[in-house]
Structure 1
Amino acid sequence: MKYDICIVGSGAGASPVAYTLAKAGAKVLVLEKGPWLTEKEFYKDELAISLRDAYNPSLSDERHVIEEEYERENGTSFWQGESTENSGWSFWNGNVVGGSSNFMSGYFHRLKPVDFKLKSTFGEVDGANVEDWPISYEEMEPFYTMVDEQVGVSGKVVDHPHQEPRSNPFPYPPIAEHPVSSWIDKAATELGYHPMPVPRAVLSQPAMGRRSCEYSGYCSSYGCSSGAKGSARAALLNHAVATGNLTIKPNAKVFNIASNATGEITGIEFYDTKGNKQKALADIYVVACQAVETSRLLLASKGPKFPNGLANNNGQVGKNLVFSAGGTGSGDFDFGQLSEAQIAQLTAVGPFVNRALQDWYEIEDTAFNGINKKGRAKGGTIDFLFHQNPIARAMGSQYGDDDELVWGEELKANLTQEFTTYRTLRFEVFNDWMPTDDCFVALDDEVTDKWGDPVAKVRIGYHEQDLKVGEYLAAKAETVLTQLGATNVSSSVSSYPPTNLMAGGCRFGNDPATSVLNKNCQAHEVDNLYVTDGSFMPTGGSVPYTYTIYANSFRVAEHIKQRWQRSVKV
């Protein structure tokens, strides 16, 4: 059967296209490499999540090669790759219907107008490939609103120095807050900061056939058993399937997008559940299987017109991969220094902390003299949180002061101390990962997956400004914890990428020589090919990416819908 639209992937980048086109009456096929799980499979199994990585492929079957930079004794450097099968460092984020959106925390901060024009606002950065976006915040804003309504975003708009323009309030009130949120409000305000509630892609009340949040405390990395979390599957694909126009094929591993001598796509080739090769045909093709795997698929899809990979005659596919820079920090609250009422508040389980700071989304500080315009740099976001899950909290208790494993009474004492004598409040910092020539996706020459296909080789070079901005923001977050009276306040900003926050590799732009896609996320070189996951982003911004991926996919879906409707009329 030939479809109107064939989509590779089923996450936040794919689902708005499937939803919009299926609702419009088009026949849509979604090819998803993982299984089709539902709420009944998403029970709160800590061992499955914390220790077994249950919703991702085995690294012995599907791996990546990660290239890191090493220094020689003479001061020169070199890049060395290692298979993740050997390192155990997984770059997978949820291979199931709905993708990684099933397992997100759902922090839904919008990008701000400045994120769309970093180069023109701050100027060039030596050693970085910063470019303005070919669209503006004003063009994206209606689609953020669409996400609020269709995916379901709970929140409250408050004034703060970098509040972005909004055309509508959030459609759902904020989710319940942990008592410590009011502590953060007081401490941050005393310091002259502007704390804000975090918008969440979690329903605070029943809607759209989904239950509201049940405050189990198991959210980040866990599938949602109530359907409250705005995953692509629960929020969009379920409704799209109900139209009768969407077909989802789970356990379908796409390995090639075939094309002919004129560059026309002739079908998408995939392995079915039995390992047999199959081919899907459509008029329009959409790739949305997350940044690394999307680049890998295009690079692997060679044809007569594209010997270096589909839509890659300019050599830009896989280039300018970005993650999210920043780091984490924490402070401890010793129960011996608190009243019983304070301890009761601090140890409450279930509600979210849900507090953020964006006072330094744009930094004006002499510490940044020489970076871009004098004393100015793009900053970022600070989010506060608890690690509520017992196994996650217990990790580390199995080691003694000498970093040797302990057991018996000593292990019991460590666990008792962890769970009964103090509580740790944490924060995360999000800031821009500068796109550079040393962060990209290629195909590995030697390592293959279980089907015999070359795996993605990912070079993870970073820019020094990533660390400088991250450290600046972490220091600000530490002042809040100190003001709260926390002890053991510390932070860590790393050059290693958070593998759940990736974008770029197929950036969009107006110049076909320096970008893969045009402003509508349509390939410059392939008329009926679109890329709608985070790959399109030239820069990542200073917030988690899922909200923006959803919004952009809704934007592109409208363009594809109009194109399809014109073709039907003809």
Structure 2
Amino acid sequence: MTTPKKFSLNDDSVVVIVGSGAGGGTLANELAQKGINCVILEAGKHYTQADIDNDEWGMFNKISWLDKRISAGGWHHTKTYPGLPAWIVKGVGGSSVHWAGLALRFQPHEFKTRSTYGEQAGTQVMDWPVDYAEMAPFYDLAEKKLGVTGSAASGLPMLPENNHYKVIAAGARKIGYKNIVRPMAINSQAYQHRPGCQQIGFCMQGCKIGAKWSTLYADIPEALGTGKVELRPQSMALRIEHDAQGKATGVLYADKNGKQHFQKARIVCVAGNSIESPRLLLNSASSMFRDGLANSSGQVGRNYMNHATAAAASIYEKPVYMYRGTSLAAVVADEARHDASRGFNGGYYLEGLSLGLPFMAAFMQPGGWGRDFTSAIDLYDHMTCVWVCGEDQAMADNRITLHATEKDQYGLPVPVVTKTYTANDDRLASHGLKQWRALSEAVGAKRVIDMPPYPASHNMGTNRMSEKARDGVVNRHGQAHDIKNLFVSDGSQFTSSGACNPTLTIVALAIRQAGFIENAMKRRDL
């Protein structure tokens, strides 16, 4: 393996990428394969396969981003999780370490929500400046990279059907559902130098053997192997600097000892998730950019989306053992369509998502106890579990802001995550819970328990794409409208959330963005 190159802090020819998850890690590898030098600044530690345990609670405490954040607004998290609005990873690989592996594509109408739904009072619903036809070939490339089961691009067969799948699928068919899918970025057999899944379970917080795709053990090692990339873990980006013409010149960051360094750059790509990315831009305010970098529109931090969600557990007479096998089983896609006759815009997936026992205990009744709770948790091995994952509409006041006085360990203002659900969100989630109950009871569930939604793991928007600079932060390539050599490379560039898990789309956008950057560099436009 090629020894990774060490770049000088004064090397202004490199692309500096902030974050190493699905967006940043993929972008770094794609650029490296094209011969482009990159420096990755990752705030978290560099974990290895040896650090991953089949203990989801232990892994939560090891890898989660637990720096202080504040939940605000009208959502349930202000009471249930006031200091943990988001459930994501602080470490190399980012939240590609923590995900169930579901790799769904946006539907065509989800790129064009304004055109499809019309004007929605109180929202900022807007069409993406790209459409499904343009994204389709990049979805193919992403599915091939990730090894998505059932995809023609990868050629991988489906994973085995565990008990959790069989119970949910049987209930779905009994109430008339037909579209039960499982496009998983978990190898069903050896693929891309990664082993096939061994069905050992408890893998949402990291895959012990590496069968589930993550940039941690896929794209990052490949990128380092080119000799074109330097990875700097425990390097927290503090601000992006610019010159007198407004061009980004590099990133100021703090290392693990708190010492500050400035890495010069030809191009800066921000891929720190939908909380940290706008936070970095807002913290980079200057006399030229008084409201934050790339924020002439006032849209940085706005339109935060995390899906309209709900959760429930169903208890059966006999054991199900939902935890045996991959964390995510059957996915019922029949309700993902847009059908306004149901009383809401957009759609949702019923995702059979098993939770480990500690998570189930923590999430079923946060902070509570009592007979209802204990009688349910005693039957953990008799449960099935669902996560309703539906489209969340963009609202300007759902946003990331900086706390006026409270600072974190880096001396940066603590981010405040403000979120209030719309009536559309509430109707969608209620419909999903009703359908789950019908599905479960159709196959003999004796008890169905609605649960409060978990902390957000699908974080989108806050630096959205727009055709016109006044409406968003970046253009159709993730390039800042205001600053030519500044890019956003993560889910914060999403214009709408769609109903599907965002990872596949983040990867597809990163592949597409890498091609744009390469061509622009060749033309000397960047």
Task: Using structure 2 for the length normalisation, give the TM-score.
Answer: 0.91
SS of residue matched to 1:54: helix
CA contact (8 A) 2:269 2:488 kept: yes
SS of residue matched to 1:262: coil
Residue 112 (structure 1) aligned with residue 107 (structure 2): yes
Runs of 4 or more off by more than 6 Å in structure 1? 80-84
Distance 2:360 2:476 in 1: 44
1:282 matched residue in structure 2 = 265
- Measured after TM superposition, the shift of residue 243 of structure 1 is 0.6
2:460 matched residue in structure 1 = 503
1:391 matched residue in structure 2 = 358
1:218 matched residue in structure 2 = 202
CA contact (8 A) 1:27 1:246 kept: yes
Q: Which of 463, 488, 492 does residue 422 from structure 2 map onto?
A: 463
Q: Which of 93, 114, 118 does residue 88 from structure 2 map onto?
A: 93
CA contact (8 A) 2:433 2:450 kept: yes
Q: Which piece of structure 1 moves more, 516-525 or 482-491?
A: 482-491
Q: Which runs of 5+ in 2 are unaligned?
A: 1-7
**Superposed counterparts of 1:3-402, under 5 Å:** 3-49=13-59, 53-58=61-66, 62-69=67-74, 87-89=82-84, 91=86, 93-155=88-150, 168=152, 170-220=154-204, 222-335=205-318, 343=319, 349-351=324-326, 354-364=329-339, 366-368=341-343, 377-387=345-355, 389-393=356-360, 399-401=369-371
Distance 1:180 1:67 in 2: 35
Going from structure 1 to structure 2, the CA distance change for 1:273 and 1:264 (only over 3 Å counts) comes to same
Question: Counterpart of 1:245 in structure 2: which amino acid?
Answer: K
| Bigger Rg, structure 1 or 2 | 1
Distance 2:247 2:48 in 1: 37
CA contact (8 A) 1:261 1:303 kept: no
Going from structure 1 to structure 2, the CA distance change for 1:301 and 1:393 (only over 3 Å counts) comes to closer
Going from structure 1 to structure 2, the CA distance change for 1:482 and 1:82 (only over 3 Å counts) comes to closer
Going from structure 1 to structure 2, the CA distance change for 1:519 and 1:331 (only over 3 Å counts) comes to same
2:5 matched residue in structure 1 = none
How far does the alpha carbon of each residue in 1:148-182 deviate from its partner, in whole angstroms, 9 at most, with x for none?
A: 111221236xxxxxxxxxxx454311112203433
Distance 1:255 1:386 in 2: 37
Distance 2:353 2:297 in 1: 43
Task: Using structure 1 for the length normalisation, give the TM-score.
Answer: 0.84
**Superposed counterparts of 1:535-550, under 5 Å:** 535-550=492-507
1:520 matched residue in structure 2 = 477
SS of residue matched to 1:355: strand
CA contact (8 A) 1:288 1:532 kept: yes
1:418 matched residue in structure 2 = 379
Query: How many correspondences in the alignment?
Result: 513
Question: Counterpart of 1:248 in structure 2: which amino acid?
Answer: L
Which one has the bigger strand percentage?
1
Question: Counterpart of 2:406 in structure 1: which amino acid?
Answer: V
- Measured after TM superposition, the shift of residue 9 of structure 1 is 0.4
Going from structure 1 to structure 2, the CA distance change for 1:93 and 1:511 (only over 3 Å counts) comes to same
- Measured after TM superposition, the shift of residue 92 of structure 1 is 5.1
Distance 1:197 1:205 in 2: 19
CA contact (8 A) 1:12 1:99 kept: yes
Residue 475 (structure 1) aligned with residue 434 (structure 2): yes
CA contact (8 A) 1:260 1:303 kept: no
SS of residue matched to 2:156: coil
SS of residue matched to 1:302: coil
- Measured after TM superposition, the shift of residue 63 of structure 1 is 1.1
- Measured after TM superposition, the shift of residue 145 of structure 1 is 1.0
- Measured after TM superposition, the shift of residue 399 of structure 1 is 3.7
How far does the alpha carbon of each residue in 1:15-57 deviate from its partner, in whole angstroms, 9 at most, with x for none?
A: 221011111111110000111111111122344136xx22135
Question: Counterpart of 2:473 in structure 1: which amino acid?
Answer: V
Distance 1:523 1:230 in 2: 29
Going from structure 1 to structure 2, the CA distance change for 1:196 and 1:366 (only over 3 Å counts) comes to closer
Distance 2:23 2:265 in 1: 19
How far does the alpha carbon of each residue in 1:232-284 deviate from its partner, in whole angstroms, 9 at most, with x for none?
A: 12221111111111100001011010112321112210011221110111211
Q: Could you tell me the percent identity over the aligned residues?
A: 28
CA contact (8 A) 2:202 2:323 kept: no
